[in-house]
Homo-oligomer: A and B are copies of this chain.
Amino acid sequence: MYDIKAWQHVFKLDPAKEISDNDLDALCMSDTDAIMIGGTDNVTEDNVIHLMSRVRRYPLPLVLEISNIESIIPGFDFYFVPTVLNSQDTTYHNGMMHKALKQFGFMVNFDEVVLEGYLVLNPDSKVAKLTQSNTNIDIEDVEAYAQMVNEMYKLPLMYLEYSGQYGDVEKVEAASRLLTNTQLFYGGGITSIEQAREMAQYADTIVVGNIIYDDIKKAIKTVKIKKESNK
C-alpha cells in the first residue's frame, strides 16, 4: 500500500484535456509522488478510462478524485472524495456521496477511499460556481475550517483548492498551523518552481495541474521541491 502521508508533489491531470504521449511520459518519469485524475467539466467514464489506461503503464500511485458518479471506475489505487466545506449546496457536502454509497456502497473497498475536507477558494473557478462555494473567506474562516477538519471531523486530508489561481500564502500557512494531524494539500495556479517552493513551505503536498497543459517544462521543474526538502 502506498503511503499518502509521504507525498510532497502530485500532478493532477484533467481527463477532459488532451495530453501527448511525450508529455505524459515526462510527468510520469519525473520524481512526482503520484498522479491524480480529476476535473470539473466533461469528466466522463470514457475519458477517465482512457487516461487511466495510459498512466497505468507507469509504476506510480494513481488517484481518482471523484467529480461525478458516472465517471467512477475501478482500477485506481485511491479514490479521493471531496466534501466541500464552504459549499452552500448540500450536494457537495454529502449529497453526492450518499447517492454513490446507496448505489455502490456494497462493493467499495474503503481502504482505498480518502475523504478530503475541501475549501474552494477561487471565486472565478468553475468548481466554485458549480458547488456554490462561499469564497469570501478570511484567515479566521480558514482557521475555523482547519480546526473543523482536524479536531471535529478528524479527516485525513484537507485540500485548499485555488483552481487556476495562485493562492494566498497566508491562508495556507494559517491552515497548516492548525492541522496537527490532517495532511494539507494545496492546489491552484502553481506555474513555477518558486511558487511550488513557497506553497510547499506550508502545505504537506502540492498539486500541480494547469501548467502541465501550458508549459510542460515548467510543470516538470516544480518536482524539484522534493530534492530541496530532502537536503
Contact = CB atoms under 8 A, between A and B. Distances in A.
Interface in A69-107: 81, 85, 87-90, 93-94, 97-99, 101-102, 105
A90 to B, nearest CB: 6
B143 A105 contact: yes
Contact of A93 (B90, B140, B145): B90
B151 A98 contact: no
A115 B147 contact: no
A115 B115 CA distance: 16
A86 to B, nearest CB: 8
A94 B98 CA distance: 17
A228 to B, nearest CB: 33
Contacts of A115: 152-153
Contacts of A19: none
A199 to B, nearest CB: 24
What class of interface size applies to chain A in its complex with B?
20 to 34
A147 B105 contact: yes
Contact of A110 (B98, B101, B140, B152): B152
Contacts of A153: 115, 153, 155
Contact of A90 (B88, B97, B141, B148): B88
Contacts of A169: none
A149 to B, nearest CB: 10
Q: Quickly give the copy total for this chain.
A: 2
A113 interface: yes
Contacts of A101: 144-145, 147-148, 152
A108 B88 CA distance: 26
A154 interface: yes
Contacts of A140: 102
Given A88-B90, A90-B93, A93-B93, A98 B144 contact: yes
A152 B90 contact: no
Nearest to A81: B152
CB-CB nearest 4 A-B residue pairs: A101-B144, A102-B144, A110-B151, A105-B147
